């Protein structure tokens, strides 16, 4: 009886062991392959994050989400400021992502000018802010400085990241495309900037959110501006134009106050009626198109120049 | 606690391991404590509602058994009123009030009944129905009243099926809590396979499809008929994988510790008729309504017109069970109409004529069934009846390029759907062919398990992903 039990337990342990070896081995090999191809990309969305974190040495850097990415044209900035500019903005990634990318950059060098674009409701509580930290998972292993930010994603992130495949979850096709020539012609970027070419057709409307402030996001924003300032960069926080009206934004109030406390320039264009008169400059209610971006970048660059001269 | 959460990946092995390590007399207590923890991970305070129905039904069972004549019925009615009362307050109160307001408005009267701002306790309809089946079965004399309060509580609260079924019957489950379950290697492995497959269905297929479906169904006005049609079919697969995935994980969790729960899904999209579909979809609920509503109404042993009425009413109530909204009621009624229509066609076939000579090939019958069921899903998924009507109108009147924000989403979905249907087709048509997951070769088998795990890691959706049926 005892022997039979031992045999059965032994059989189970053997099979579980075999399965574990296959899973761990498969995970290791597949993870290695994915990592190799991920960092071999030379264009596209994923590559731009790698470039921002590991390569760029531009004097002026743009940070933010899709609004930053589509609103600030580096060539216009370069022309106005005479500084090499790179746009690190990434679609759907907000302040956590920006702070992580900044940390990696500051570890390598100090940019002269840092511009952070904020959304009207950036500090609003949303699980998406944490979910989207997955954009940083491939860098967790090699970038110690961003680990505390990535670990905000969930209390178990450290354990999950023991898997070599997990950081590349849902990225296999993007990695595959990123390694082909097709990617370069698909969506070209100009020093990180991706132009939007459509024109918004709808009338201006009101869009309100009952904001519930996430203190973690506020902390991250504060950390962004204080560390950039401490490093010696000149920091500008901008709320770029939108094609909708809103009643109230706690985010803007808080961000303005934090900037004031830290002596950081804060410009709010979210209610700029002069810009909102030009519907042809918008691609949708939250994004400027290329024409709008060129105009707005010039406007901001001139203001930065004036600030610099003062 | 969600099955597809990391917390559960810790909770499950700890509960299982300690279950086997503990002496038999303490196991029920351990399972009950674990189930309480599992439930309280959502909204802790709601365990009091669960406690209330447990106490009521526990005593109702004993009193029903002891009493005779009218008193028996009285105790049963008390139990049913308590259970349905809880459901009415937490699930239907605001819906009823809303409809009263609309009625009052049309009569020019102001409705002053206040609305309640309460959250629906998770899985309320599931454990309420399971509790009701207990008192009804005791009343019918099919089940002895459970004297052990802890065991009865466990019958309602057993964590694998607590929040989304299967809705068990006391005859199937209660005795299992008293039995000694020694570690069974075969059951353990079978349970683990179910767990793995359930996770695949949920994380790889359902949650991936939900990204596309939500984008379309949450903004139906912005999309054309082509996108809405695709989203409707994909929603059919999403809800299958979401719910069957949950049930499969539930069955797996129970099986690992030696418990057998009833199968809830049997490849529903391979059914050849609407009635066949409902014999394969959410079986525990379908049989619940059959046993406690359809048959008491007269079932099929009545005139055909009355039978059609019974079917219609049963499905309409089933729709209401799913949610306090007209969309669910219409969805239920639509399925009731399908079944009544099928009943009439079958009757006509029996009586000879053209219909009796028509024999549809299986594939055609299956496709027609899928079309009918998918049409019903429009009401099930739409955020309001207005949206549902708009979607229907757009499906039939507009077309164009399908919405495609991120092609990799659809590619991942395709991979998941292909694996899913390959698995279902094998189980339907080649039951004895153990190609991959049940292959006799230990290496092939293990490589298959490992591939599923890696596929989950590679293309599964790990962010968010609530189970749709929790809201019921």
Identity of the residue in A12, A154, A169 whose CB atom sits nearest the CB atom of B6: A154
pLDDT band at B112 (very low <50, low <70, confident <90, very high): confident
Residue B436 near chain A (CB below 8 Å): no
pLDDT higher than 90, residue B146: yes
Beta carbons within 10 angstroms of residue B34's beta carbon: 20
| Residues A6 and A83 reside in one and the same domain | no
CA dist A229 and A216 (Å) reads: 20
- Summary mean pLDDT of chain A: 90
CB contact under 8 A, A173 and B454: no
CA dist A11 and B240 (Å) reads: 35
Burial of B271 (0-12, 13-18, 19+ CB in 10 A): buried
Structural Rg of chain A based on CA atoms? 23
Query: Is the previous residue joined to B166 through a cis bond, with omega within 30 degrees of 0?
Result: yes
pLDDT band at B465 (very low <50, low <70, confident <90, very high): very low
pLDDT higher than 80, residue B153: yes
**Which residue's structure tokens are 């901008």?**
A238
pLDDT higher than 90, residue A37: yes
Integer angstrom CA distances of residue A233 from A60, A224, A228: 9, 11, 6
pLDDT at B148: 94
Show which of residues 4-23 on chain A sit within 8 Å of chain B, judged by CB atoms. Answer: 8, 11-12, 15, 18-19, 22-23
Query: ipTM of the assembly?
Result: 0.78
Show which of residues 48-67 on chain A sit within 8 Å of chain B, judged by CB atoms. Answer: none
pLDDT at A186: 58
Chain A hits for B21, CB-CB cut-off 8 Å, are none
CA dist A162 and B8 (Å) reads: 18
List the beta bridge partners of residue A14.
Answer: none
B181 belongs to the catalytic site: no
3-class state of residue B385 by DSSP: helix
CA dist A187 and B374 (Å) reads: 37
Residue A205 near chain B (CB below 8 Å): no
State both tokens at B273: 């008729």
Contact B257, B20 (CB under 8 A): yes
Show which of residues 331-370 on chain B sit within 8 Å of chain A, judged by CB atoms. Answer: none
Length of chain B: 472
Pairing of the two strands A60-63 and A85-87: parallel
Nearest chain A residue to B184, by CA: A8
Average pLDDT for residues B262-285, to the nearest whole number? 94
**What is the least distance, in Å, from the CA of B10 to any CA of chain A?**
11
| Residues A70 and A20 reside in one and the same domain | no
The tens digit of pLDDT for each residue in B362-412 reads: 999 999 999 999 999 999 999 999 999 999 999 998 888 888 877 888 889
Identity of the residue in A131, A156, A165 whose CB atom sits nearest the CB atom of B454: A165
Residue B412 near chain A (CB below 8 Å): yes
For residue B229, the Cα-to-chain-centroid distance in whole angstroms is 24
| Residues A32 and A111 reside in one and the same domain | no
Secondary structure element (H or E) that encloses residue A207, with its range: none
| Residues A105 and A217 reside in one and the same domain | yes
| Residues A157 and A304 reside in one and the same domain | yes
CA dist B222 and A174 (Å) reads: 27
Chain B hits for A170, CB-CB cut-off 8 Å, are 408, 412, 458-459, 461
pLDDT higher than 80, residue A185: no
Chain A hits for B185, CB-CB cut-off 8 Å, are 8, 11-12
CB contact under 8 A, B185 and A8: yes
3-class state of residue B346 by DSSP: helix
Contact B380, B331 (CB under 8 A): yes
Chain A hits for B457, CB-CB cut-off 8 Å, are 27, 163, 165-166, 169
Percent of chain B at pLDDT > 90 equals 63
Q: From the candidates B456, B462, B465, which should be mutated to test the interface with A, based on the most A CB atoms within 10 A?
A: B462
pLDDT at A188: 67
Integer angstrom CA distances of residue B272 from A273, B278, B354, B372: 61, 11, 20, 11
CB contact under 8 A, A163 and B457: yes
**What is the least distance, in Å, from the CA of A136 to any CA of chain B?**
14
Domains of chain A: total = 2
CA dist B390 and A163 (Å) reads: 45
Residue B447 near chain A (CB below 8 Å): yes
pLDDT band at A4 (very low <50, low <70, confident <90, very high): low
pLDDT at A6: 64
Characterize A96-131 residue by residue with b for buried, 16 or more Cβ atoms within 10 angstroms of its Cβ, and e for exposed. bbbbbbbbbbbeeeebebbbbbbbbbbbbebeebbb
Residue A126 near chain B (CB below 8 Å): no
| Residues A13 and A68 reside in one and the same domain | no
| Residues A54 and A32 reside in one and the same domain | no
Integer angstrom CA distances of residue B198 from B3, B188, B246, B253: 10, 15, 6, 10
State both tokens at B366: 């299956």
pLDDT at B327: 94
State both tokens at A93: 């990634």
Catalytic residue among B127, B175, B322, B386: B322
Chain A hits for B407, CB-CB cut-off 8 Å, are 173
Chain A hits for B6, CB-CB cut-off 8 Å, are 154, 156, 159-160
pLDDT at B232: 96
The tens digit of pLDDT for each residue in B72-105 reads: 999 999 999 999 999 998 888 888 888 888 888 8
| Residues A30 and A60 reside in one and the same domain | no
- Summary mean pLDDT of chain B: 90
Secondary structure element (H or E) that encloses residue B466, with its range: none
Average pLDDT for residues A156-162, to the nearest whole number? 90
The CATH number linked to A270 is 3.40.50.1110
pLDDT higher than 90, residue A202: no
Integer angstrom CA distances of residue B276 from A152, B280, B293, B305: 48, 7, 19, 21
Contact B262, B172 (CB under 8 A): yes
Residue range of the domain that includes A36: 1-40
The two most distant CA atoms of chain B are separated, in Å, by 75
| Residues A150 and A197 reside in one and the same domain | yes
| Residues A112 and A258 reside in one and the same domain | yes
| Residues A76 and A211 reside in one and the same domain | yes
**Which residue's structure tokens are 């000579």?**
B357
| Residues A79 and A220 reside in one and the same domain | yes
């Amino acid at each position: 009886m005892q022997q039979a039990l031992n045999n059965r337990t032994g059989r189970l342990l053997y099979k579980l062991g075999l399965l574990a070896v296959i899973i761990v081995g498969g995970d290791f090999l597949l993870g290695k392959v994915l990592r190799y191809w991920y960092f071999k990309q030379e264009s596209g969305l994923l590559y731009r994050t790698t470039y921002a974190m590991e390569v760029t040495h531009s004097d002026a850097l743009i940070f933010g989400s899709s609004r930053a990415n589509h609103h600030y044209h580096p060539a216009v900035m370069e022309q106005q400021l005479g500084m090499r500019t790179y746009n690190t903005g990434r679609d759907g990634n907000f302040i956590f992502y920006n702070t992580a990318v900044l940390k990696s950059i500051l570890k390598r060098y100090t940019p002269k000018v840092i511009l952070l674009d904020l959304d009207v409701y950036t500090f609003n509580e949303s699980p998406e802010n944490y979910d989207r930290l997955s954009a940083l998972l491939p860098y967790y292993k090699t970038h110690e400085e961003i680990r505390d930010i990535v670990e905000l994603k969930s209390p178990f992130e450290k354990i999950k990241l023991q898997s070599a495949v997990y950081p590349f979850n849902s990225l296999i096709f993007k990695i595959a495309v990123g390694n082909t020539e097709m990617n370069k012609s698909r969506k070209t970027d100009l020093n990180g900037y991706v132009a939007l070419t459509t024109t918004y057709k709808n009338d201006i409307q009101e869009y309100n959110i009952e904001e519930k402030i996430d203190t973690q996001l506020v902390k991250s924003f504060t950390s962004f501006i204080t560390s950039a300032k401490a490093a010696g960069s000149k920091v500008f926080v901008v709320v770029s134009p939108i094609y909708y009206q809103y009643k109230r934004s706690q985010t803007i109030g808080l961000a303005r106050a934090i900037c004031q406390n830290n002596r950081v320039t804060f410009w709010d264009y979210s209610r700029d009626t002069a810009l909102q008169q030009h519907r042809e400059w918008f691609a949708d209610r939250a994004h400027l198109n290329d024409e709008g971006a060129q105009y707005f970048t010039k406007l901001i660059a001139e203001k930065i120049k004036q600030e610099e001269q003062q | 606690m969600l099955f597809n959460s990391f917390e559960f990946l810790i909770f499950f092995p700890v509960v299982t391991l300690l279950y086997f390590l503990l002496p038999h007399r303490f196991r029920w207590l351990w399972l009950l404590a674990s189930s309480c923890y599992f439930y309280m991970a959502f909204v802790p305070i709601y365990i009091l509602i669960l406690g209330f129905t447990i106490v009521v039904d526990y005593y109702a069972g004993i009193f029903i058994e002891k009493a005779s004549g009218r008193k028996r019925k009285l105790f049963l009615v008390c139990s049913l009123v308590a259970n349905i009362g809880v459901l009415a307050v937490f699930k239907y109160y605001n819906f009823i009030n809303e409809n009263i307001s609309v009625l009052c408005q049309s009569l020019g009267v102001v409705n002053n009944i206040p609305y309640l701002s309460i959250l629906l306790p998770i899985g309320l309809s599931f454990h309420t129905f399971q509790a009701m089946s207990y008192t009804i079965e005791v009343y019918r004399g099919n089940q002895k009243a459970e004297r052990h309060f802890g065991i009865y509580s466990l019958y309602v609260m057993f964590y694998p099926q607590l929040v989304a079924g299967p809705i068990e019957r006391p005859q199937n489950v209660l005795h299992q809590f008293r039995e000694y379950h020694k570690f069974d290697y075969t059951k353990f492995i079978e349970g683990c396979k179910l767990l793995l497959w359930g996770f695949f269905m949920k994380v790889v297929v359902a949650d991936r499809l939900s990204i596309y479906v939500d984008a379309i169904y949450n903004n139906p006005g912005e999309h054309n008929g082509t996108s809405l049609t695709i989203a409707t079919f994909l929603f059919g697969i999403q809800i299958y994988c979401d719910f069957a995935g949950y049930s499969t994980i539930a069955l797996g969790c129970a099986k690992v510790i030696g418990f057998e729960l009833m199968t809830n899904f049997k490849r529903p999209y391979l059914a050849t008729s609407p009635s066949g579909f409902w014999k394969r979809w959410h079986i525990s609920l379908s049989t619940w309504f059959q046993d406690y509503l359809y048959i008491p109404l007269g079932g099929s042993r009545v005139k055909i017109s009355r039978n059609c009425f019974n079917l219609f009413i049963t499905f309409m109530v089933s729709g209401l069970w799913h949610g306090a909204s007209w969309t669910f009621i219409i969805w239920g009624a639509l399925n009731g109409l399908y079944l009544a229509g099928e009943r009439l066609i079958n009757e006509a076939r029996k009586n000879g004529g053209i219909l009796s000579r028509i024999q549809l090939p299986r594939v055609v019958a299956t496709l027609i069934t899928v079309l009918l069921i998918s049409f019903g899903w429009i009401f099930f998924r739409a955020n309001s009846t207005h949206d549902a009507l708009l979607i229907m109108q757009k499906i039939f009147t507009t077309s164009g390029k399908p919405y495609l924000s991120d092609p990799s989403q659809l590619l991942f979905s395709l991979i998941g759907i292909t694996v899913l249907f390959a698995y279902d087709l094998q189980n339907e048509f080649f039951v004895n062919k153990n190609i991959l997951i049940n292959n006799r070769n230990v290496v092939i088998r293990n490589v298959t398990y490992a591939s599923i795990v890696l596929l989950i890691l590679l293309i599964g959706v790990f962010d968010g992903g609530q189970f749709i049926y929790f809201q019921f």
